[in-house]
Structure 1
């Protein structure tokens, strides 16, 4: 088993007051935490990679806790997403190893979140950018919470690294008015509606 030691961690929080419409009394907070780690499979094809998910679990829990704290506590979080940026000597499948550790860490930290955690992944060069999709934590069909956050770190991921990402928000898009299922109409039975 590999010891997961981040080279660096970045936390970014946006405070969104308006998108050209009325100014909100309370801003929408949209935050991301990114951990840049060594990719133990960089530079070679390795058939057995699933064991690395266990190693990533503690990092996922730490990242989720830190981001939740920055955004005002678990009760404030309404939407989430996750992603992985894989350095050039890695492969897309290495980023897929973040699905379970990152997703379950957020759900565990938030308590009773029911919806699947949306995700994206991409092999990039240093400074590569990626949009992280975001949906409501309890019902994926809540249209007001369909969102994304673009993430990047100027010196990462290096060719033998991965940047693992968690994103959370404190509410719907600031001027949401596109209709569909509303948060107050969630049934909470299956993570969809």
Structure 2
């Protein structure tokens, strides 16, 4: 398979101080790494596409490292994560599914406490399409305070023959989380769920 051909990269960092309630002592930080690549399968049906996942792994590790840097260079502060892809109109949804393994495992490789499955989403869309990337706690998927999403997109991507790949990391729960459930302080860390 060919190496990914990158057209564009972007890092988006948000700091959330409050959502209408009291100002938090420490703001929630959310960051997204977006990379636009050429879709090597655009405009055709290719039966065997699985090998391209291996080609995407180094890019995933680079993106995960960039996110840790954007959040202050300390991987231990990362508590939540998610991933996604937007496939241009000449591609198919399955081309976005190629991001599941390299996107997810790259973050789990870099983060010290990451037993939970990385939530994911994908869709077909054109330039300017937005994507809500789901986020959960990186060590226990049932931590309700960390159920979140970050909306991302780029005004000129993806073009019909491109894929926009996304990784997201956060430093904590929703800023005013108060709907109960398993707390981050109660994680047992046995199964990636609780």
Q: Give how far 1:3 is off.
A: 1.6
> C-alpha deviations, 1:60-91, integer Å up to 9, x for none?
00000000111122011000000000000000
How many pairs were matched up?
A: 193
The SS at the match of 2:6 is coil
Counterpart of 1:172 in structure 2 is: 173
Equivalent residue runs for 1:176-191 within 5 Å: 176-191=177-192
Structure 1 runs (4+) deviating above 6 angstroms are none
Counterpart of 2:82 in structure 1 is: 81
Structure 1 vs Structure 2 CA RMSD: 0.6
Counterpart of 2:21 in structure 1 is: 21
Counterpart of 2:52 in structure 1 is: 52
The SS at the match of 1:7 is strand
Which segments of 5 or more consecutive residues in structure 1 lack a partner in the other structure? none
Q: Give how far 1:6 is off.
A: 1.2
Q: Give how far 1:111 is off.
A: 2.5
> C-alpha deviations, 1:98-142, integer Å up to 9, x for none?
000000000001023100000000000111011000000000000
Counterpart of 1:157 in structure 2 is: 158
Q: Give how far 1:36 is off.
A: 0.1
Which segments of 5 or more consecutive residues in structure 2 lack a partner in the other structure? none
CA distance in 1, matches of 2:151, 2:117: 20
The SS at the match of 1:68 is helix
CA distance in 2, matches of 1:44, 1:185: 49
